[in-house]
């Protein structure tokens, strides 16, 4: 069981690190590729949308890159100050990314169903992170840990979205339909996994 947990942890770290490289592809001059090829020229020229888009992917990438470190028990115990410092950066980048993500969610490809999927995800990400921070400030360690599991599970949607999207595209042979479904599929299973992980955490503490 310990071996499986260790493998799962390293896979989490590898996938999170690899996906962090993805936002750099949007810095190219030609932006008509990937998800952006389905955006209108008017939207791509909109200054506010562009600011929100780049803030979202940059801050989200930082949160994704450093978030998994917080779940390494030995590092957390041995380097508590480092854990706190990384945690502060994580919280700030998540709150910024979630707010900007909430804005760009309203322009999601696929219509209202996709919009609602990304809006709810942004709200869950924002509030689980905020409440986790407030919990640790009050010394509620277990509550903090549980909420951070949910927070990073939502953050990890950046990875699972890019796993599910090509699968759905092959199944439906329609990118827009695949993206609409993935707007929910990218984070709902993650939240379910987080639920069982948080339950297990509570059982260990009892």
Q: What is the mean pLDDT of each run of 10 residues along the chain (206 residues)?
A: 70 77 63 72 90 94 91 82 94 98 95 96 98 96 95 95 93 93 97 93 71
Q: What is the pLDDT of residue 37?
A: 76
> For residue 136, what are the contacts with CB-CB under 8 A and spacing of at least 6?
87, 144
Measured distance CA(100)–CA(158) in Å, rounded: 15
Q: Which domain holds residue 129?
A: 38-205
Q: What is the pLDDT of residue 78?
A: 84
Q: What's the domain count of the chain?
A: 1
33 in a structural domain: no
32 in a structural domain: no
Measured distance CA(18)–CA(9) in Å, rounded: 14
Q: What is the pLDDT of residue 2?
A: 65
97 in a structural domain: yes
Count of Cβ atoms closer than 10 Å to residue 156 Cβ: 22
What's the burial of 26, exposed, middle or buried (CB within 10 Å: 0-12/13-18/19+)? middle
69 in a structural domain: yes
Q: What is the pLDDT of residue 122?
A: 98
Q: In this structure, are residues 6 and 71 in contact, taking their beta carbons and an 8 Å threshold?
A: no
| Single pTM value for the model | 0.89
Q: What is the pLDDT of residue 26?
A: 64
Q: What is the pLDDT of residue 7?
A: 76
């Amino acid at each position: 069981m310990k071996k499986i947990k260790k493998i799962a942890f390293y896979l989490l770290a590898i996938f999170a690190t690899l996906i962090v490289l993805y936002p750099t592809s949007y810095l190219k001059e030609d932006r008509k590729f990937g998800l952006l090829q389905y955006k209108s020229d008017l939207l791509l020229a909109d200054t506010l949308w562009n600011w929100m888009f780049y803030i979202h992917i940059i801050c989200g990438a930082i949160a994704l890159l450093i978030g998994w470190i917080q779940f390494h028990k030995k590092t957390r115990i041995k380097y508590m100050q480092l854990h706190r410092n990384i945690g502060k950066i994580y919280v700030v980048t998540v709150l910024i990314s979630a707010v900007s993500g909430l804005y760009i969610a309203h322009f999601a490809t696929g219509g209202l169903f996709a919009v609602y999927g990304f809006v709810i995800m942004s709200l869950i990400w924002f509030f689980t992170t905020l409440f986790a921070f407030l919990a640790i400030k009050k010394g509620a360690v277990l509550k903090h840990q549980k909420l951070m599991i949910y927070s990073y599970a939502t953050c990890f949607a950046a990875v699972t979205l890019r796993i599910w999207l090509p699968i759905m595209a092959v199944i439906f042979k329609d990118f827009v339909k695949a993206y609409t479904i993935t707007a929910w599929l990218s984070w709902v299973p993650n939240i379910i996994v987080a639920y069982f992980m948080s339950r297990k955490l509570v059982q260990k503490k009892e």
